[in-house]
Homo-oligomer: A and B are copies of this chain.
């Protein structure tokens, strides 16, 4: 089969063997934000058509390609969501020469507020072996996800706007004037921010410390971004760890550098974490693909 992790900015395709082994890979600068006039089929023709010509007839897509801005909107599946739930909720799209289906995103609700993910569910399914009967995953990013897994299914999750919050606060408030955002990371300042996040007062108060520590010459321009990053990361991690007590070590899935940062922050805040040592999307596409009732 062919699996594609098709996000807002990235497109990664895999030719996957019957045991889940990745036989071939292709990537393109064809995230959905770069595709004009809905010409998604053209992207597939340019990228995976050789594999289709070679006999692969089943294509599974995951990610923002199933959003309102994508090819066809695949309505969110509800929690609990495992491989079979997702497979039975896939949505077909028309493509000449192969059967193409889109994996839906997942939604849940807590305290009257909905949560959504698209693409992350497929990675979770690909990493299920890491969780045993129950566990928790953290998927860092501009909107990071913390995901509860029980009995091989996603049973709940929450989103933290940490990365995008950092960008807005460092780029568009008075704090930005205190820092060189491009300076190399300062691990001491990061830890100082992580420590501060545990004090009383809350994030809105802690933020002002970036300014005052700078005013008094106690936080340099080259360290301030790391301090701010530590503050935000600490607020996320402390809240999320409190919500996932007794769930075992947090499994970090995503960009290795970002996962390393989160692993340190989780350890600093009293939790335990380990990084997934492999890319989870192909295994998820394979596992869900095995559960799909393909026409062909």
Binding site for B on A (CB under 8 A): 111, 113-116, 143, 158-162, 164-165, 167-169, 171-175, 196, 199-209, 212-213, 215-216, 218, 232, 235-236, 238-239, 242-243
Contacts and interface: CB of A to CB of B under 8 A. Distances in A.
Contact of A160 (B111, B116, B200, B205): B205
A111 B199 contact: yes
20 contacts: A113-B212, A114-B209, A114-B212, A114-B216, A116-B215, A158-B201, A159-B212, A160-B204, A160-B208, A161-B173, A161-B204, A165-B169, A168-B169, A168-B172, A168-B173, A171-B172, A200-B243, A203-B203, A203-B235, A205-B236
A162 B143 CA distance: 21
A126 to B, nearest CB: 24
Classify the secondary structure of A's interface with B: helix
Number of this chain's copies in the complex: 2
A236 B200 CA distance: 12
A196 B111 contact: yes
Contact of A242 (B171, B200, B242): B200
Given A171-B172, A172-B171, A204 B115 contact: no
A205 B239 contact: yes
A207 B158 contact: no
Nearest to A146: B205
A274 B89 CA distance: 55
B204 A235 contact: yes
A159 B243 CA distance: 28
Given A168-B172, A171-B172, A208 B243 contact: no
A20 to B, nearest CB: 33
B160 A165 contact: no
A140 to B, nearest CB: 13
Contacts of A216: 114
A202 B116 contact: no
Nearest to A111: B199
Nearest to A204: B160
Select the residue from A204, A215, A236, A243 with max chain B CB neighbours within 10 A: A204
A164 B160 contact: no
A243 B168 CA distance: 28
